[in-house]
Amino acid sequence: MFTYFKRISIFSYGLISYLIFFATFVYSIGFIANLPFAPRTLDGEPRLPFWTALGIDVLLLAIFAVQHSLMARPAFKAWWTQWVSPAAERSTYVLFSSLALILLYSYWQPLGGEIWNIENRSGRLVLGATFGFGWALVFYATLLINHFDLFGLRQVWLNLLGTPYTELEFKTPGAYKLVRHPLYLGWFLCFWATPTMSATHLLFAVLTSIYILAAIQLEERDLLRAHPEYADYRSQVPMLLPRIGGREKAAGGREAA
Ligand SMILES: C[S@@+](CC[C@H](N)C(=O)[O-])C[C@H]1O[C@@H](n2cnc3c(N)ncnc32)[C@H](O)[C@@H]1O
């Protein structure tokens, strides 16, 4: 009876964590694109002196980066699953990531200043479409890997059924044949594709890009340890930019899993 109650509690926790993540993900679109539905956005009138605002923004991004990368490492997972149920580990990671983002969105400080502003209608449309494509690519890449595992729902569901968890296999379906990190490529498009680039937006885009490039090094180190075949994949498929005219070449003849 107690076991069943515990499983239902863990499942509810996973579901709530997922819903919080999903709401944060949708809010992120409004935050970055300064859409009217978002009460706090990337750009706006500066409220604090430049250097104070800059310091706060860098600190907020650093908090997210440390949380997101540290808690994803296998050694950290092994350590803290002494206290957190292994079935709830991924949901807790997702919840903490969402909380770090909510903190960032709540206290973000606009810096003002304009780097570029494209007034040409076609140019604005192309950049808007690229921004939208970036978000779609991020979501699509989660489906290719396993959306429900990435966000912890598969783990809490299997636990509810009393079925042992099985690790995801290494696979290279769809866009993973063209680049090794389609999801991160999507983030690059979301962060850089804007018709109006303010100093605030540029800071956000530069720092998140540096973070993604560093996170790729850590992620690939773990992938190489867990899946020896990743070395072969890495030598054949580009990291972020697809080779022109080279799907077969890039995929190196691999079959989709
Ligand atoms: C947020 S996802 C990002 C995946 C990938 N870096 C991308 O940009 O599309 C991170 C998780 O995906 C896993 N992962 C990355 N590439 C993978 C692949 N080809 N097959 C299975 N899992 C993968 C990593 O181990 C990590 O747990």
Residue whose Cα lies nearest atom 6 of ligand 1: it is: 181
CA distance 65 to 61: 6
- Mean pLDDT calculated for residue range 36-54: 95
pLDDT at 254 over 60: no
Average pLDDT, the chain: 93
Residue whose Cα lies nearest atom 5 of ligand 1: it is: 181
ipTM value? 0.97
Mutate to test the pocket of ligand 1, among 219, 229, 236 (most ligand atoms within 8 A of CB): 219
pLDDT in tens, 183-223: 999 999 999 999 999 999 999 999 999 999 999 999 999 99
Model confidence at 30, pLDDT cuts 50, 70, 90, reads very high
- pTM for the full model? 0.91
CA distance 83 to 178: 40
The number of the ligand 1 atom at minimal distance from the alpha carbon of 233 is 19
Ligand 1 site residues, Cβ closer than 6 angstroms = 141, 145, 150, 168, 170-172, 176, 181-184, 219, 223
Cα dihedral across residues 93, 94, 96, 101: positive or negative: positive
pLDDT at 251 over 90: no
Measured in angstroms, how far is the CA atom of residue 81 from the centroid of ligand 1? 21
Mutate to test the pocket of ligand 1, among 25, 145, 166 (most ligand atoms within 8 A of CB): 145
pLDDT in tens, 65-107: 999 999 999 999 999 999 899 999 999 999 999 999 999 999 9
Name the nearest CA neighbour of 187 among 164, 207, 208.
208
